[in-house]
Structure formats: structure tokens, C-alpha cells
Amino acid sequence: MQKLQYWMMGRNGTDQLSIALLIAGFVISLFSNFFWPLIFLSYAIYIWMLFRMFSRNLPARQRENQVFLRVWRPITQWFSFQRTRFRDRKLYRYFKCPHCGLRLRAPKGRGKIQVTCQKCHTEFIKRV
């Protein structure tokens, strides 16, 4: 085990992009049962993942991971917000500030209320 740890020193190892490539390769390999040429795409993704994991060019791999995260984070945040919104659907009403677009929430069943945005301090009336 120590030999493997010594060999991996200075190498990139696993990061979020490597894990995403592993999952994408697995999903594509499942679809290759129906359309066999996809298996080559799956192998290419696995090779790219292994290249990234064993690469010693850390700054380049970190830049690639940062670009991936810049694209991936808004997607995961949107799904996380939708899950929270679904969980709170009976208690709160979610809406956006008409001026700055900040997401706000108010308790349901209050009728018409005057809302003040925390970010831009715009006041508007909303029915909740």
C-alpha cells in the first residue's frame, strides 16, 4: 500500500471531474447494450479519466476541474433549490424580487403582504 501511495505522490488523483467521468462512462456503457458503438465512447471516457487521475500536471488538471465545477455548480444548486421548494411547498411561497431577481420566500396564507427585498430594499406587494 505504501508503494502505491508513494507512486501517487505528486499526481492529480480523483476529483469531481474524474468522478463525473466515471459515472458518465458507466451510464454510456449501459446504453451500449442497445447500441454497441457507444462502448468505444465509454472506453475513451475511462481512458481520459485515468489520464487525469495519473497526470503530474496539477495546474492544468485543476483548471479543468474548476471549469467543470463552474458549469456543474449552478445545475446542482438549481436541483437543490427545487428539492427545498418541494419540501416547503405547504408552508412557504417562493418568488423573485422584480428589481434584482433575488429569491424570496414568505409564509403561505397571509393574503397580500408588502415585501422588502433584503438585497436592493425594493418594496412590492405580493399575494401569498
Please give the chain's pLDDT, 128 residues, in tens. Answer: 888 888 888 888 899 999 999 999 999 999 999 999 999 999 999 999 999 999 999 999 999 999 999 999 999 999 999 999 999 999 999 999 999 989 999 999 889 999 999 999 999 998 88
Chain-centre distance for alpha carbon 89: 23
pTM, full prediction: 0.76
Q: How many domains does the chain have?
A: 2
Q: Quickly tell me which residue has 408552508 as its cell.
A: 91
Same domain, yes or no: 80 and 120: no
9 shares its domain with 56:
yes
103 with 128, same domain: the answer is yes
If asked whether residues 78 and 16 sit together in one domain, one would say yes
80 & 98 share domain: no
**Closest by alpha carbon to 69, among 16, 118, 21, 122?**
16
- Three-state SS letters, 42-90: HHHHHHHHHHHHHCCCHHHHHHHHHHHHHHHHHHHHHHHHHHHHHHCCC
**Full residue range of the structural domain in which residue 124 is found:** 91-128
